[in-house]
Structure 1
Amino acid sequence: MTKLPPRLDIRNLKRSFEGRVVVDDVSLTIEPGQVTCLLGPSGCGKSTTLRMIAGVDMQDSGQIYVDGKLICDTVFRIPPERRNTGLMFQDFALFPHLSVAENVAFGLSGSRSEKAARVRELLGRVGLARFEESYPHELSGGEQQRVALARALAPRPRLMLMDEPFSGLDNRLRDEIRDETLDVLKQEDTGVLLVTHEPDEAMRMADEIALMRAGKIVQRGAPYNIYNAPRDKEAVGFFSDINVIDGVVRGALTDTPFGQFLAPGVPDGQAVEIVIRPQHFKIDFDRDGRGPDPTPSDGAAARGVVERARFMGNESLVEFRMDHDGSKLRVTVPNVFLPSVGKALWLSIRRDRCFVFPKVA
């Protein structure tokens, strides 16, 4: 059986502005029905990458293929309107003078009856069948986003490009619209490239995350793998708060107040950073002044004094000042846990949830 080409295949894209490299040798593939999130902080080059794929910006070098066909290099260029791609942006970009049905039908080809049937089909899918004759200003933000989705899908694009499309919605509505959007896109077997700076959005929607930093894709994989096997400290910190403990490797081990940590492959004398998320600490009360005995999974315990405790809704955040070096650690605990300021407690670390990285100067 012959393998079909990827829905999207971008190869070695580069783009500079006034001598500053914004997109640096980016390559990426997306299969039919796959949702890939291009995730990264503001200014990392992800929206510029999207604009080059859409055809509204031109790469300095590299090629873009859709369904195995070249649509753009530095010589050949198919115009944006002929690339068979759908576009969704955070401002919805609906035409205020057109009705909902007219917005969805905009850009459709075919007979009047064919266009009307496609409009009815999509408005039914997004739950807006009764709003055909309404105008955008008469709709809520969530309803406008559904109209924008229906309009983008109406011509049956092979590829959907989405640039922060849910950022204008409140949090509760955002989750609902994300899920509905994902369902409709999967039904259409559309390849999706979603640009976002929100890790939660990427984790919720993506089949694959491409983590971007300073113009480059630094890591790519399924959400589970990106979260649990990050390539460096910055990748860990992009998805959650982190604590960092400094150490030095001796014989593939690093001594810390929490016991020894393995650092395989790291040369002796190399400074390292042990990175721990706040939820991966275990707290024990100081009952006898010595703390709990070490365990194989959690190692030794170190004592800290509570400086602050706050309830955050579904968890509590406790900040400690550690006895051994005066450093601060942030720990989260499920539900309500609000020890008094000045309380001494013992902390241990889940070894299987720590990351050891060579320290970068």
Structure 2
Amino acid sequence: MTPPHPRLEIRNIVRRFDGRSVVDDVSLKIMPGQVTCLLGPSGCGKSTTLRIIAGVEMQDSGEIYVDGNLICDTVYRVPPERREIGLMFQDFALFPHLSVAGNVGFGLSGTKEEKRARVAELLDKVDLLRFIDGFPHQLSGGEQQRVALARALAPRPRVMLMDEPFSGLDNRLRDGIRDETLSLLKNEDTAVLLVTHEPEEAMRMADEIALMRDGKVVQQGAPYNVYTRPVDRQSVSFFSDANVLRATVNGALAQTVFGRFLAPGVPDGTEVDIVFRPQHLSIDFDRAGKGPLPTPTQGVAARATVERARFLGHESLVEFRLEHDDTLLRATVPNVFLPAEGTVLWLTIRRDKCFVFPVR
């Protein structure tokens, strides 16, 4: 049995401005009903990639396919309005002079009755049918967002491109509207490519994350895999705060104040960064000044002095200064833990949660 084509596939897309590659050999495959998040810092090429797929900007090389059919390369180009690709952006861009029905039905073909029926069907799905003859200025921000979604879905696009579509909503509304939007898109079997610079949003929404940096996709996979198997120090830091210890490899081992860490395949004399997240730095309350005795999973304990502690609502963040070499480390502790500045405590690291990367 022949496997189904990806709903959207882009192959080796490159876009240059003034000799600089803003999008550099980007390839993606998105299946029907799948949500892929293009995640990365501002200016890394995410929005340019979306504009190329939508057809409002041309690539310098590469190809774009929808359901296995070529829609654009550097010679052949299907016009944007015929690509069956929907767009949603930060600015809802509703027409203020048109009613809600007029906005949702804008660009639909068919008889007046057919268009009205499609508009009513979609507004019912987003729970806004009662506003069908209202106007955008009468709606809240969240309601305007749902009208924009209904408008984007009206022509039954096979692909939906979303550029930070929820950033204009307050936190109280955002989670609910995000979940409703994705549920509706999945029910329509739409392939979704969502651009965001917020890791938490990507982790919450995506079936797959493509992590982008300097125009390149540096890592791609399920959210769990991208988070727990980062490819480099920057990837760790993009998803959360990161602690870093610098060490030199000798005999495939890197010696630190917390003990030795394996560095297989790394040549002797190479400097490495040992990177770990604040939740994996533990406070050894039982040590009571007994010294750095090693344990199988935690390695060696190290003395550190509290520099600052603050309560964040569901956890506490404590900053320490290592006595060994003055390195600053951060630990997150569940609930309320606010030791006084200058308190000396012993720290250990979850060795199985550390990443070792050669310094570049």
- TM-score bin (small chain): over 0.9
Question: Are residues 245 and 127 of structure 1, via their aligned partners in 2, closer, same or farther at CA, if it must alter by over 3 Å?
Answer: same
Cα distance in 1 between the residues matched to 2:4 and 2:305? 60
Contact 1:284–1:291 at 8 Å: present in 2 too?
A: no
**What do the CA deviations read for 1:182-213 (whole angstroms, capped 9, x no partner)?**
11011000000001111111101100000011
Find the counterpart in structure 2 of residue 146 from structure 1. 146
Alignment of 1:339-354 (within 5 A): 339-354=339-354
Which one-letter code corresponds to 1:47 in the other structure?
A: S
Find the counterpart in structure 1 of residue 282 from structure 2. 282
Contact 2:105–2:116 at 8 Å: present in 1 too?
A: yes
- Structure 1 runs of 4+ aligned residues shifted over 6 Å read none
Contact 2:9–2:28 at 8 Å: present in 1 too?
A: yes
**What do the CA deviations read for 1:146-201 (whole angstroms, capped 9, x no partner)?**
01001101111000000010111111211111111111011000000001111111
Cα distance in 2 between the residues matched to 1:321 and 1:207? 39
Following TM superposition, by how much is the alpha carbon of 1:288 offset from its aligned partner in structure 2, in angstroms? 4.0
Cα distance in 1 between the residues matched to 2:17 and 2:255? 47
Q: What SS does the aligned partner of 2:75 have?
A: coil
Q: What SS does the aligned partner of 1:14 have?
A: strand
Following TM superposition, by how much is the alpha carbon of 1:46 offset from its aligned partner in structure 2, in angstroms? 0.8
Find the counterpart in structure 1 of residue 105 from structure 2. 105
Q: What SS does the aligned partner of 2:284 have?
A: strand
Contact 2:281–2:330 at 8 Å: present in 1 too?
A: no
**What do the CA deviations read for 1:264-318 (whole angstroms, capped 9, x no partner)?**
1111111100001011111023764234632211111101010100001111010
Question: Are residues 287 and 350 of structure 1, via their aligned partners in 2, closer, same or farther at CA, if it must alter by over 3 Å?
Answer: closer
Contact 1:285–1:291 at 8 Å: present in 2 too?
A: no
Find the counterpart in structure 2 of residue 308 from structure 1. 308
- Using the size of structure 2 for normalisation, the TM-score is 0.98
Q: What SS does the aligned partner of 1:75 have?
A: coil
Q: Name stretches of at least 5 consecutive residues in structure 1 with no aligned partner.
A: none
Cα distance in 2 between the residues matched to 1:277 and 1:123? 44
1:213 equivalent in alignment to 2:213: yes
Find the counterpart in structure 1 of residue 318 from structure 2. 318
Cα distance in 1 between the residues matched to 2:200 and 2:118? 33
Alignment of 1:109-120 (within 5 A): 109-120=109-120
Following TM superposition, by how much is the alpha carbon of 1:2 offset from its aligned partner in structure 2, in angstroms? 2.2
Contact 2:292–2:302 at 8 Å: present in 1 too?
A: no
Which one-letter code corresponds to 1:141 in the other structure?
A: G
Tell me whether 98-107 or 291-300 shows the greater mean CA deviation: 291-300
Cα distance in 2 between the residues matched to 1:12 and 1:80? 20
Q: What SS does the aligned partner of 1:23 have?
A: strand
Q: What SS does the aligned partner of 1:307 have?
A: strand
Contact 1:308–1:320 at 8 Å: present in 2 too?
A: yes
Contact 1:285–1:344 at 8 Å: present in 2 too?
A: no
- Using the size of structure 1 for normalisation, the TM-score is 0.98
Contact 2:289–2:346 at 8 Å: present in 1 too?
A: no
Aligned residues: 360
The Cα RMSD (Å) is 1.1
Contact 2:317–2:333 at 8 Å: present in 1 too?
A: yes
Q: Percent identity?
A: 74
Q: What SS does the aligned partner of 2:14 have?
A: strand
Contact 1:38–1:194 at 8 Å: present in 2 too?
A: yes
Find the counterpart in structure 1 of residue 123 from structure 2. 123
Q: What SS does the aligned partner of 1:246 have?
A: strand
Which one-letter code corresponds to 2:116 in the other structure?
A: A
Following TM superposition, by how much is the alpha carbon of 1:134 offset from its aligned partner in structure 2, in angstroms? 1.3
